[in-house]
Amino acid sequence: MIDNNRPSLPPFQKTMTSTGMILGIFLAAIESTAVSTSMPTATAALGGLSLIHYIFAAYSFATAVTITNWGKLSDIWGLRKTYIAGCSLFLIASALCGFSQNIYQLIFFRLLQGAGAGAIFPAAMTGLTVIYSETQRSKMQVYLSMIWAIASVAGPPTGAYLTHHLSWRWVFYLNLPAGLISMILVQRGLSGFIQQKEALGRPFDAKGSAILSLIVFLLIAAVSVNRQGRLILGGPYAATTLLGAAVALFLFLKHIKTANDPFISPSVLRNPVFWRTGAGNFFMCMAMFGSIAFVPLFCQAGLGESVSAAGRTLTISLFGWIISSAVAARAYLKFSLRTLCRVGASMMTLSYSFLAFNLKYISVWPFRMGMFSMGLGIGICFAPMMLGLQSTIPRQDLGSGTAALQLLRNLGGLMGITLVGTLLAITWNPHGSILGGVASSGVEYGIREAMTIVFFANVAVSAAGLFAVWGLPAIHPRTEQIGN
C-alpha cells in the first residue's frame, strides 16, 4: 500500500505539478502520432523514403526499452530529478531531430527522443499518485485518459498543418516551448517536496536492468514487421529470438530472487493485482491497437471511404475511449475495480464479436458504431486498472511498478500490430488498386474476408483480457485524504 504518512504540498503547488506533468505526457503522446503525417515529407527531403518505417520504430523501441529503467530511477532519485532529466533529454533530442541533415541522423535522434519520453510517462504517473490522495487521483486520471485519446486524434492533423504551412521540422521544434513550460512547472511545483527516505538513495540494479532491457529488445525484434506486414527477421529467426527472450526471462526471475534490492521487487511480481491488470492491459492493447492501425485501410478498401472519411471513422472509435475514460475514473469512486474491468472487457469482447460476424457485409455506420463501442469498453478499464494497481504497491516500488504496467501496454500494442499485419499478409493479396477511396470489387471482397479473420482473432485476444481481469479483487478506493 502507498504510505499515507508523507509530506504534502500546498494546493497551488499540486496544481502546478499536475499541470506540468500532464503537459509533458501530452507532448510525449502526441509526438508519436504527429510525425505520421509529416515524415513522408521529411524522408523525401532527406533522401531516405525507404527507411521511413525506422523513424517510427526507433521512438517506440526506445520508449519501451527505457521506461522501466526510468521508473526504477524515480524510486531512487526522486520524482523531480527523474522528470527533469527525462524531459531535458526529450527536448534536446527534439531540437536535434529538427536539425537533422540526413535520414540516419533523424533515426538516431528519434531514438534519443523516445528514450526521453520513456521517463516522462512513469515519472508523471507516479508523481500524480504521490501528491494526491486516492480519491483525488481518480480525478487526475480523467485528464490523463483524455490526454492520451486527444493526442491520438489531434496528432496527425497537427503534423499535417505544421508540415504544410511551415516545415516538417516544426513538428519537433514545437515541443521546445511547451516542454520548457512543463519543466518549470514541475521544478517549482515539487520544490520542498521530500520523498520517503527509505525510497531514496537505493542502489540501482544494473544487472537486472540489463537483463530486462534485453528481454524487451528481443521481444520487439522478434515481432517487428516491415511495411508489407511481414516479420523482418522471418519465421525461424523470430522463433529463435523469442526463445532467447524466454531464456533471458528465466535469468531475470532467478536474479530478482537473489539480489539485495532487485530491479523489480518480488513483492510486486507476487502481487495478483499486478499480474491480472498487466495481463488485461496487454491483451486489450493488443486487440485495440492491432485493429485501429489498419482501420483506415479497411475503410478505404472495404467500405469505399475517402481518406478523410476513414480518418473520421478512426476518430469516432477514439472518442468512445475519451468519453468512457472520463466516466470510468469517477465511477471508480463508487464501483469496485473488478466490476468496472468486467464491464469494460465484456463490452470490448462483444463489440469485436459483432464486427467479426458482420464484417463481410457491414456498411459504414454500423462499423463506426462497433468501433465506438469497442473504444467505450477499453476506456472503462484503463484508468481503474492503473489506480487499482497503484493502491496495492508499496511507495518505494511505485515507480517501477507503474512503469512495468505501462511497458505491458506498449508491448501489447506492438504485438497486436504485428499479429494483424501478419494475418493480413497471409490472408490478403490485393490485386487491384485504391485511389481516393475507390477500390475494385476484388480488393473489397479480399479485404473484407481478411479483416473478418483479423476481428475473430481480436475476439479471442480480448476474451483473454476478460479472463485475466475477471478474477480481480473487489478493490475500492480509500476515502481518506492525504495532505491537502
- Position 48 pLDDT exceeds 80: no
- Position 424 pLDDT exceeds 60: yes
Per-residue confidence (pLDDT) for residue 3, from 0 to 100: 46
**pLDDT tens-place string over residues 361-409:** 888 889 989 989 998 898 888 878 888 888 888 777 777 788 888 888 8
Lowest mean pLDDT among 7-16, 78-87, 265-274, 474-483: 474-483
**pLDDT tens-place string over residues 158-173:** 777 787 788 888 888 8
Could you tell me which residues come within 8 angstroms of residue 376 by beta carbon, excluding any fewer than 6 positions away? 320, 321, 323, 324, 344, 347, 351
- Position 103 pLDDT exceeds 90: no
What percent of the chain is helix, strand and coil (3-state, nearest 5)? 80, 0, 20
More confident residue, 352 or 201: 352
- Position 157 pLDDT exceeds 80: no
Lowest mean pLDDT among 108-112, 191-195, 261-265, 377-381: 191-195
pLDDT mean over 11-39: 81
Place of cell 531475470: 252
pLDDT mean over 239-265: 85
Between CA 408 and CA 391 the distance in angstroms is: 18
Per-residue confidence (pLDDT) for residue 303, from 0 to 100: 81
- Position 1 pLDDT exceeds 50: no
Rg of the chain taking only CA atoms, in angstroms: 22
Per-residue confidence (pLDDT) for residue 478, from 0 to 100: 58
Per-residue confidence (pLDDT) for residue 294, from 0 to 100: 77
Q: How far is CA 464 from CA 156, 233, 345, in A?
A: 31, 27, 9
Per-residue confidence (pLDDT) for residue 5, from 0 to 100: 46
Q: Which three cell numbers stand for residue 153?
A: 486524434
Q: How confident is the model at residue 280 (pLDDT cuts 50, 70, 90)?
A: very high
Could you tell me which residues come within 8 angstroms of residue 220 by beta carbon, excluding any fewer than 6 positions away? 60, 61, 64, 65, 411, 414
Per-residue confidence (pLDDT) for residue 156, from 0 to 100: 73
Percent of the chain beyond pLDDT 90? 14
Residue 443 contacts residue 298 (beta carbons within 8 Å): no
**pLDDT tens-place string over residues 173-221:** 888 888 899 999 988 887 766 555 545 556 777 888 888 888 888 887 7
Question: In sequence order, which ranges of 332-440 are alpha helices (DSSP H)?
Answer: 337-358, 364-390, 398-427
Average pLDDT, the chain: 80
Per-residue confidence (pLDDT) for residue 482, from 0 to 100: 36
